[in-house]
Amino acid sequence: MESPVISCFLPFDSVEQVSSTVASLKKSRYPLSIMLLLSKDRNDPGIEGCRSLFVDDLYSTETIRQIAENIPEDGYTILCSGYSPVCFGSCAIDRFIRIAEDTGSGLCYADYYKNIAGKEEKHPVIDYLSGSIRDDFDFGTILFYRNRSIREAAGQMKEIYRYAGWYDLRLRVSRKSLPVHIPEFLYSQGEYDFRKSGEKQFDYVDPRNRAVQIEMERACTDYLKTIGAWLPARTRTFDASAMRFDVEASVVIPVYNRVRTIGDAVRSALGQETDFPFNVIVVDNHSTDGTTDILKDLSSDGKLIHIIPEEDTLGIGGCWNVGIFASQCGKYAVQLDSDDVYKDKHTLQRIIDMFHREQCAMVVGSYIMTDFDMQVIPPGIIDHREWTDGNGHNNALRINGLGAPRAFCTELLRKFTVPNTSYGEDYALGLTFSRNYKIGRIYEPIYLCRRWEGNSDAALVVEKINANNSYKDKLRSFEIEVRKKMNER
């Protein structure tokens, strides 16, 4: 059997940057066609054995079309998705080919090593699910495509993207078969983003990336329409006016071992000025660091309800369930994390006014990123203005969060309940509520989100990041199937 030609496309920044990747590729026993992707203002670097392909925008639709025009009908293509130098392991390309042949997949990807200061660290990635439609899904640098898949997808591209071309390609290829994860470390790549996990997670809502996000939403929306999971605007309201509760609202604060911050959070909640009665329900998940003593000192006036659950296996979501099913819970349940604070004394009033005015089932606010001392840090205001009444509930399947603070009609929240996890429980609720009901949005910041070393997501190891992302991808998979069935009905 004749060996397939492997077409390789490497984004070019400098000779030094691509030289090691080119040298590694040339060790392969397969016939190669190596093309460097250069911006049109660059000169051909004249690297032996490589051709130059000049493009306007690296991740554009036009670049995908140029790639499709420069590969044969049969064979495979390696797309290097970034500027990190890559070194392939022994027989790595053989392994990519074998798995691609055996599975028939249009796209394969693999675990890899990160080369940090000359030391290689394992970087496993996660399986691709039907809900893995985030545009920032971590494939690693190497995307191993079947040529026919690229050419077919490129021929279908009607929308022209400047930034979302590669994302559009991946979604189109995944319509026929899901990308296949090879759980083997097949190459190493240089590290180029040394930020901690807590610093990276808000890139998708950075105002500087707005143009990119608009295109990503368009590509995702087109994909959801194609697979039958897109829903028209959600206009269903929920009138809670006739429901009887002792207080209008409850601020719910789950907490475990936050002795340094819980006092600030509770005082922020108790200090709200409203024209309705409210209370603050703190569900203290068996803290051992002095948090419980602080709460006892703050709960003298009856407005603070301090609950220690009977169970000792609860996550944040489980603590929320304890709070909302408490007899003291108000008509509306409003979130406040134990290390955050409300921006001012009017936050709670603004949220409840939105419920009354819009008769929405859920309200989501906007927040400001700060350090521990509540000084503003980049990216500053996170307002999730990508949300629109017509398409926000669809775009929610592409991104990893909806915003904060989050507030709910208690009667509905008791019906749905909160997943007993300590990550993604709020996202799960956002998907469920937005599938059924209109969501109210407040785009001015009303909340301070404090980033500090004590945050649960401040500096996660890759295995924990993978577990978190897998959970949200699974939630999206569930949600996509539910929305498909809604459309079928």
- Residue 192: what pLDDT? 53
Same domain, 128 and 10: yes
Q: How far is 470 from 482, CA to CA, in rounded Å?
A: 18
**Which among 32, 8, 51 is positioned nearest to 150, based on CA atoms?**
8
Is there a single domain that holds both residue 175 and residue 298? no
In a domain, 361, yes or no: yes
HSE-up of residue 305 (Cα within 13 Å, Cβ side)? 23
Give residue 206's pLDDT.
58
Phi, psi at 378, each rounded to 5°: -60, 145
pLDDT tens-digit series, residues 435-449: 999 999 999 999 999
**Whether residues 153 and 264 fall in one domain:** no
Does the pLDDT at position 200 exceed 70? Answer: no
**Amino acid 205: pLDDT:** 54
* Residue 310 lies inside a defined structural domain of this protein: yes
Specify whether 282 is located in the same domain as 186.
no
Regarding whether 264 and 188 lie in a shared domain, the answer is no
Query: What gap in Å lies between CA 363 and CA 408, rounded to an integer?
Result: 7
In this prediction, residue 198 carries a pLDDT of 44
Instruction: Determine, yes or no, domain membership for 380.
Output: yes
Using the predicted structure, report yes or no on whether residue 405 has a pLDDT greater than 70. yes
Q: Range of 62's domain?
A: 6-194
Q: Does residue 135 sit in the same domain as residue 278?
A: no
Residue 232 lies in a domain: no
Task: Name the band, by pLDDT with cuts 50, 70 and 90, for residue 386.
Answer: confident
What is the residue-wise DSSP string for 376-430?
EEEEEEE--TT--TTTHHHHTTTSS---SSEEEEHHHHHHH---S-SSSHHHHHH
Which pLDDT belongs to residue 10? 97
* CA–CA dist 126, 99 (Å, integer): 16
Residues 186 and 255 in one domain: no
Is residue 156 a contact partner of residue 172, using CB atoms and an 8 Å limit? yes
- 47 found inside a domain: yes
pLDDT at position 116: 84
Residue range 468-478: mean pLDDT, rounded:
98
Looking at the structure, do residues 188 and 262 belong to the same domain, yes or no? Answer: no
Cα torsion at 33, 37, 38, 40 (round to 10°)?
A: 100
Can you tell me whether residue 448 is helix, strand or coil? strand
Domain shared by 20 and 158, yes or no: yes
User: How many Å apart are CA 452 and CA 196, to the nearest integer?
Assistant: 12
* pLDDT recorded at residue 452: 85
Q: Is 164 helix (H, G, I), strand (E, B) or coil?
A: coil
Closest CA to 159 of 73, 210, 67, 223: 223
Query: What is the C-alpha separation between 332 and 404, in angstroms, rounded?
Result: 15
Average pLDDT over residues 60-78: 97
401 within domain boundaries: yes
Q: For residue range 308-318, what is the model confidence (pLDDT) as tens digits?
A: 999 999 999 99
Q: What is the mean pLDDT of the chain?
A: 93
Average pLDDT over residues 282-289: 96
On whether both 167 and 103 belong to a single domain, the answer is yes
**CATH number (domain holding residue 154):** 3.90.550.10
Share of the chain above pLDDT 70, in %: 95
In contact, 127 and 107? CB cutoff 8 Å: no
**Range with the poorest average pLDDT among 113-122, 266-275, 356-365:** 113-122
Same domain, 404 and 289: yes
What is the number of domains present in the chain?
2
Query: pLDDT: is 181 or 116 the higher one?
Result: 181
Q: Mark which of 194, 213, 241 sits at the end of a domain.
A: 194
Residues 6 or more apart whose CB falls under 8 angstroms from that of 140 comprise 81, 109, 110, 111, 112, 123, 125, 187, 189
* 267 in a structural domain: yes
The answer to whether position 486 is within a domain reads no
Q: Residue 3: pLDDT band by 50, 70, 90 thresholds?
A: confident
Residues 307 and 431 reside in one and the same domain: yes
- Residue 458 is predicted with a pLDDT of 61
In angstroms, the CA 118 to CA 204 distance is 30
For residue 161, CA distances in Å to 80, 165, 211, 213 come to 19, 5, 11, 11
**Distance, CA of 482 to CA of 234 (rounded, Å):** 15
From 153, 177, 194, the end of a domain falls on 194
Degrees to nearest 5, angle at CA 439 with 315 and 223: 90
Cα distance between residue 215 and residue 165, in whole Å: 9
Cis amide bond preceding 45, omega within 30: no
Domain boundary residue among 194, 214, 230? 194
Provide Rg for the chain, Cα atoms: 25
- The pTM for the full model equals 0.92
